[in-house]
Amino acid sequence: MPSYKAPLRDQQFVLHEVLGAVDALREMPRYADLDADTVNQVIEEAGKFCEDMLLPINRTGDEEGCTYDPATKSVRTPKGFKEAYDAFREAGWQGLAAETEYGGQGLPHLLQIAFYEMQYSTNQAWAMYPGLTIGAYECLLKHAAEEQKNLYLPKMTSGQWTGTMCLTEPHCGTDLGMLRTKAEPQADGSYKLTGEKIFISSGDHDMAENIIHLVLARLPDAPHGTKGISLFIVPKFVPQGTGETAKIGARNGIFCGGLEHKMGINGNATCQMILDGATGWMIGEPNKGLNAMFVMMNGARLGVGVQGLGITEVAYQNAVAYAKDRLQGRSLAGPTNPEKPADPIIVHPDVRRMLLTARAYAEGGRAFGYWVALMADTQISHPDEEQRKFGADMMSLMTPIVKAFMTDNGFLCASECLQVFGGHGYIRQWGMEQFVRDARINMIYEGTNTIQSLDLIGRKILMDNGAKLRVFGKMVTEFIEENGTHPDMDEFVSPLADIGNKVQKLTMELGMKAMANRDEVGAAAVPYLRVVGHLVYSYFWARMAKVAVERVRADGGGVDPFYKHKLMVARFYFQKLLPETATLIRNVRVGSATLMEMPAEAF
């Protein structure tokens, strides 16, 4: 079975030394009393929960999977899932970042993201049950009526009721404008929903007493396309009463019609959901459902990006342990282990390349992902309007990058770490193949990574004439100006400045081409997102390097090796990973003709 230790030291480095998160959060009145000890304690305890409760049932959950009973139309989760969930709930983890008003602990979203990382390292399939509940909670918090919030949020905060998001239908996934599920108004103000949803994560299970489905559907007179979609709350059991004392009542007409058999995350129930005259209540305004659902989708995209980080970290930890232990061949520079028949494979340069690739993407992704979470807190809770807008703009710009860049890297790194095991990675015994299978879905759901790339270049950059990208660019420029003359920083700052200039130029070029031919955007979007992803990682790697350079200098070169090692990984990132942008930029510039000239019938 794979092993895992929460990467507390690196998490604390990012939170305290790179982001100065406690000071930043204390500017927000609701976190005025937060201190570093509390942050550390929460993360340590959360790490223990993941190590002790989630990791042991990750492999067994994958092997056993979920079971569907057609007689009762219900789903049983793998052995141990419910027990872990009960322990999670009883410890109050579900409400970590939820409002105190609804029984939550009111802690920052940043801590939730740090906890997510560890949950996704140890058991992505399990973590999706409480994760989707948080997404549904946030959507209701923002868009539901007071009465609805009072009814549902306390139970979702305590984890007694879980949540889902029901968008996809058999004929429509990416193109939600085609969805057909119908919602007919009833005399009592409720709606009757009829239709079929597929691929619904956590759609049915035995871990909680009720499941609160957020369902997209159309009113009878709705306009065509995405402008005619409304959002409904459809509980599995219709609640009676309100708040913490609410009880579950009659079984509603929303059922699991079967489970998908799939490549990974087997412990998570991916359900076909039948709505057979189910009773629902509208959330927000008619035909504005997609806007409301975006709250859940954006939160989920950040979460999915962190799934990529979690898998990278756990795959890396296991690959390192194996590489130090496995004896094969001799070091090209001469034996390091002459008394044994061979050297450990960690002596081989290419094995180190694979390990360092995963480490550089994990540590870069952690700094980036945690910063975006801090932007989420800034957007919601900062007292200064300008800061709130800055947080919102950065969240908006970075969401597709978090989702696509971090999950592409997650899959790549899981595969590289499997490769470190050779054939032993491909067989089931070591658990590495599960990481590769689990990591693959992250590139698909919550909007495929292609769709994220189109969102970045289209909506987030070209539609606002690059304004948000310029705000980020200003931060990068300020960093370069502050640190560019420092000789120890040159190796990090110069490539950062270089990629910054290239992104600026490339974006302008693409904007010009897009005006003449929209296919140019479609053809360039995926490599373009990867180039911008590298700009962002370069910035965070340079910030981490700055802290490390200062610490190494302050302690005379090395009481604590952590900082020297950080600089080694930074160097690896800038010298071995960032240069892929040269190929990607050429790829963007090639344009659309090579992709579009062949007639469809010739494929």
Ligand X SMILES: Cc1cc2nc3c(=O)[nH]c(=O)nc-3n(C[C@H](O)[C@H](O)[C@H](O)COP(=O)(O)OP(=O)(O)OC[C@H]3O[C@@H](n4cnc5c(N)ncnc54)[C@H](O)[C@@H]3O)c2cc1C
Active site residues: 446
State how far the Cα of 531 lies from the Cα of 583, in Å rounded to an integer.
Answer: 10
Q: Do 513 and 522 touch, CB atoms closer than 8 A?
A: no
Which H or E element spans position 235?
A: strand 230-235
**What does the block give as tokens for 84?**
């872990």
Least CB distance to ligand X at residue 160 (A):
20
Q: By CB under 6 A, name the one of 67, 174, 240, 465 that touches ligand X.
A: 174
Residue 299 binding ligand X, by CB under 6 A: no
DSSP strand pairing (161-166 vs 210-217): parallel
DSSP strand pairing (247-251 vs 237-240): antiparallel
Contacts to ligand X from residues 204-263, by CB under 6 A: 262
Residue 173 binding ligand X, by CB under 6 A: yes
Residue 404 binding ligand X, by CB under 6 A: no
Name which of 166 and 254 has its Cβ closer to ligand X: 166
Residue indicated by tokens 């948080």: 134
Give me the amino acid identity at 383. P
Sequence-ordered list of residues with C-beta below 8 angstroms from that of 411, at least 6 positions apart, any chain: 308, 436, 439, 440, 442, 443
Helix 519-554 / helix 561-572 crossing angle, nearest 10 deg: 150
State how far the Cα of 426 lies from the Cα of 408, in Å rounded to an integer.
Answer: 20
Name which of 166 and 309 has its Cβ closer to ligand X: 166
State how far the Cα of 473 lies from the Cα of 58, in Å rounded to an integer.
Answer: 41
Name which of 48 and 518 has its Cβ closer to ligand X: 518
CA distances 66 to 123, 200, 228, 405, 423, Å, are: 14, 14, 35, 30, 28
Binding segment toward ligand X, per CB under 6 A, in 181-189, 195-203, 307-315, 332-340 = 195-203
Name which of 451 and 547 has its Cβ closer to ligand X: 451
Q: By CB under 6 A, name the one of 270, 409, 434, 483 that touches ligand X.
A: 270
Q: How many residues interact with ligand X (rule CB under 6 A)?
A: 18
Name which of 16 and 182 has its Cβ closer to ligand X: 182
Name which of 159 and 447 has its Cβ closer to ligand X: 447
Contacts to ligand X from residues 443-472, by CB under 6 A: 444-445, 447-448, 450-451
Binding segment toward ligand X, per CB under 6 A, in 74-82, 423-431, 439-447, 574-582 = 439-447
State how far the Cα of 578 lies from the Cα of 590, in Å rounded to an integer.
Answer: 20
Q: By CB under 6 A, name the one of 68, 129, 199, 540 that touches ligand X.
A: 199
Name which of 167 and 354 has its Cβ closer to ligand X: 167
Residue 168 binding ligand X, by CB under 6 A: yes
Name which of 231 and 441 has its Cβ closer to ligand X: 441
Binding segment toward ligand X, per CB under 6 A, in 85-93, 166-174, 273-281, 537-545 = 166-174
Least CB distance to ligand X at residue 164 (A):
6
Name which of 224 and 261 has its Cβ closer to ligand X: 261
Q: Which sign, positive or negative, has the C-alpha torsion 278, 284, 285, 288? A: negative
Least CB distance to ligand X at residue 448 (A):
3
Residue 441 binding ligand X, by CB under 6 A: yes
Binding segment toward ligand X, per CB under 6 A, in 321-329, 442-450, 473-481, 485-493 = 442-450
Binding segment toward ligand X, per CB under 6 A, in 112-120, 194-202, 302-310, 468-476 = 194-202
Least CB distance to ligand X at residue 140 (A):
16
Name which of 270 and 381 has its Cβ closer to ligand X: 270
Contacts to ligand X from residues 5-44, by CB under 6 A: none
Sequence-ordered list of residues with C-beta below 8 angstroms from that of 201, at least 6 positions apart, any chain: 128, 132, 164, 165, 268, 269, 270, 271, 445
Residue 195 binding ligand X, by CB under 6 A: no
Residue 266 binding ligand X, by CB under 6 A: no
What 3-state DSSP class applies to 333? Answer: coil
The residue with its CB nearest to ligand X is 173
Q: By CB under 6 A, name the one of 96, 111, 166, 456 that touches ligand X.
A: 166
Sequence-ordered list of residues with C-beta below 8 angstroms from that of 583, at least 6 positions apart, any chain: none
What does residue 216 show for φ and ψ, rounded to 5 degrees? -90, 135
State how far the Cα of 504 lies from the Cα of 496, in Å rounded to an integer.
Answer: 12
Least CB distance to ligand X at residue 404 (A):
11
Least CB distance to ligand X at residue 302 (A):
15
**What does the block give as tokens for 598?**
């062949």
| Long-range contacts, stretch 14-21, CB < 8 angstroms, 24+ apart | 14/366, 14/367, 14/370, 14/544, 15/39, 15/43, 15/110, 15/114, 15/370, 17/547, 17/551, 18/367, 18/540, 18/543, 18/544, 18/547, 19/367, 19/370, 19/371, 19/374, 21/108, 21/110, 21/370, 21/374
**Nearest alpha-carbon partner for 538 in 549, 530, 526, 550:** 530
Q: Which sign, positive or negative, has the C-alpha torsion 6, 10, 13, 15? A: negative
What does residue 354 show for φ and ψ, rounded to 5 degrees? -65, -45
Q: By CB under 6 A, name the one of 201, 452, 483, 581 that touches ligand X.
A: 201
Residue 448 DSSP symbol: -
Residue 439 binding ligand X, by CB under 6 A: no
Least CB distance to ligand X at residue 374 (A):
27
Least CB distance to ligand X at residue 428 (A):
20
Total residues belonging to the chain: 603
Least CB distance to ligand X at residue 143 (A):
17
Name which of 128 and 480 has its Cβ closer to ligand X: 128
Least CB distance to ligand X at residue 242 (A):
27
Q: By CB under 6 A, name the one of 55, 110, 151, 167 that touches ligand X.
A: 167
Binding segment toward ligand X, per CB under 6 A, in 77-85, 164-172, 507-515, 561-569 = 164-172
**Nearest alpha-carbon partner for 305 in 392, 262, 366, 264:** 366
Least CB distance to ligand X at residue 513 (A):
17
State how far the Cα of 413 lies from the Cα of 31, in Å rounded to an integer.
Answer: 36
Q: By CB under 6 A, name the one of 165, 248, 319, 497 that touches ligand X.
A: 165
Interface contacts to ligand X, rule CB under 6 A: 165-168, 173-174, 199-201, 262, 270, 441, 444-445, 447-448, 450-451
